[in-house]
Structure 1
Amino acid sequence: MRVLIVEDEPFLAEAIRDGLRLEAIAADLAGDGDTALEQLSVNRYDVVVLDRDIPGPNGDEIARRLARSAESPRILMLTAAARLHEKESGFEAGADDYLTKPFALRELVLRLRALERRPSAGAPPVQEYAGVRLDAFRREVYRDGRYVALTRKQFAVLAVLMAAGGGVVSAEDLLERAWDENADPFTNAVRITISTLRKRLGEPWVIETVPGVGYRLAAVPGATP
């Protein structure tokens, strides 16, 4: 999952980002509305954690703009505005969920996981392909009924491949979806993570390398490493 945190309090924003990264959630920061819109125009995000009271276009305006898009990310408003009519106006602006400050980071993570598992573009909450079963909310993976323990980054990469449903995903796309904006585009992190993920899932290999293109889940196990 990749999240954009739109928050003008730097220490809070950085604390949220660092906490989400520990949960294998890639997170970028935007301190004002203009930066947020710029980030949204160039990156794909699964959820926007959106403060309402920010410089530039405020949270409500950003939510309304996103709501007009056919493939907009989910919106979780994170704000001190706690009155019922304030929450109501937030949902009317386009919020999918609403969390008031102060809050527990664990609750934010749980809400993000819940938003992630909501069906989007026909995607089921639990994905299965080629004998691999991935439950994003419970963070569990099984291969032919056998539980597979994965690191946070391995899980994130597998989730992107599962969502592609056997389609090829480039290393660049994996880097964009499973890492954050600070990832080095020339890093070999994707290749290394794919290699270790293959070993965790076990033989016959289920992740196939498409030379010069990227990676995909093989419909028939026994893929090329």
Structure 2
Amino acid sequence: MIGVVVGLLLFIMFLEWRNFGTSAANRITVAGAVVVLLWMAAYARQPVFRGTLAGYWEKDLLKIVDLAPLFISMGIFSTAIQQSGVLALIQPHLQAVVDALGPFAIVALPILMVACALVGIHPFISIVVFGQIISALHMPVPPISLALCLALGGTVSYIVSPFAGMILTLARFLNCRTVDVSLRWNWVFCAALFVEGTLFAYLWGRLWG
């Protein structure tokens, strides 16, 4: 599993370096497809391969079919937020909050993203909305720190949100509640990740920002 993850990351970085495709989404999709095909080819001669593949197609795949409307609605909602003008209305108020917080704004950013995830706003939408908001504000910290905190907030949100597709899928396969996976099992890891990630973002921005 570690080899698969590392291989996927390296392949995405290679495609980024070669400017493959028209967007990051294209490169991630191609890298994922290639890694999956290579993984399947490595196990194609195993006796249980056909049975496992058939079981996934006939049973496991059906458990995530109803998640498709969720991802479609995420795209529609994020586009609606961008076109509604809400971001322009709240921008002056957010700038005042950022000025008051100073460097501590990098702590507030991921906390707000996690809070949105817990009340039902999908992390994907939070990443899009907060990314657009902070790009229009004058922040007292380097842009690299903001980018890292945005990634940190999105990562933690995906892990603790009961509404994230990853959590919904895990809960389906484990036959348990989404709250058990997202909060009861993951909160200690997320707390450690949040503290370490925030410190890393701040120090990295001070050194290289």
Tell me if TM exceeds 0.5: no
Structure 1 or 2, whichever has the larger Rg, is 2
TM-score, length basis structure 2: 0.25
More strand as a share of residues: 1
Which structure is higher in RCO with an 8 Å CA cutoff and minimum separation 6?
2
Q: TM-score, normalised by structure 1?
A: 0.24
